Amino acid sequence: MAKPIEIRPQPRNAREELQRRLDNAPVEHADAMLSLYELLQQLHDSGTLDLLRGTVGAGDEIVNHAVRLITQPESVRSIRNVLILAKLLGSIDPEILHQLSEAVPAAVEQSRQEEPPSLWALLKSFRSEDSRRALAAGAGVLEVIGRQLKSTDK
């Protein structure tokens, strides 16, 4: 009968393996290390490292200050208003907004170069279909705002 071969695995020395990997690291990662040194120098030159050290040193004090600022009623209202404005802008067709952004500067420039129109000329311009459409849109917006102001008074 055959005798079994006894295999005794060598105990793994994690410290030696780590030392070997550390010795080979500069060779294997030379490009990365050079890039890291360059980045570190740039952060030092720009003062960003000092800022980061100060931030880490201040730690909880910065967090407490930020929380105090964010929880103030004005900050909460500002954040809510920004979200509502973002929703409002998201509901507007970008093409209409683009046309409006091109038309307003042109109209302002035209009004600067011409002599101010007479009251009669203004009234005649309000008779055009486009002016009436814009006036109707503006009146609709004003009506909604007035309704909201009335309901908040009660």
* Mean pLDDT of the residues in the chain: 88
Whether the pLDDT of residue 152 is over 80: the answer is no
Instruction: Record the pTM.
Output: 0.47
pLDDT score for 26: 77
Instruction: Establish if 81 belongs to a structural domain.
Output: no
> Is residue 68 in some structural domain?
no
**Residue 36 forms part of a structural domain:** yes
Q: How many Å apart are CA 105 and CA 120, to the nearest integer?
A: 24
**Per the domain annotation, does 49 fall within a domain?**
yes
Is it the case that residue 60 has pLDDT exceeding 70? yes
DSSP output for 79-146? HHHHHHHHHHHHHS-HHHHHHHHHHHHHHHHHHHHSPPPPHHHHHHHHTSHHHHHHHHHHHHHHHHHH
Whether residue 33 contacts residue 26, with contact meaning beta carbons closer than 8 Å, is answered with yes
Start-to-end CA span in the chain (Å):
103
154 has a pLDDT exceeding 70: no
Domains: count for the chain: 1
Residues 6+ apart with CB under 8 A from 55: 62
Question: Does residue 73 lie in a domain region?
Answer: no
Establish if 141 belongs to a structural domain. no
Determine, yes or no, domain membership for 149: no
* The pLDDT value given to residue 13: 82
For 67-96, how does the pLDDT look when each residue is reduced to its tens digit (9 = 90+)? Answer: 999 999 999 999 999 999 999 999 989 998
> Which residues form the domain of 45?
18-58
| Percent of the chain residues topping a pLDDT of 90 | 41
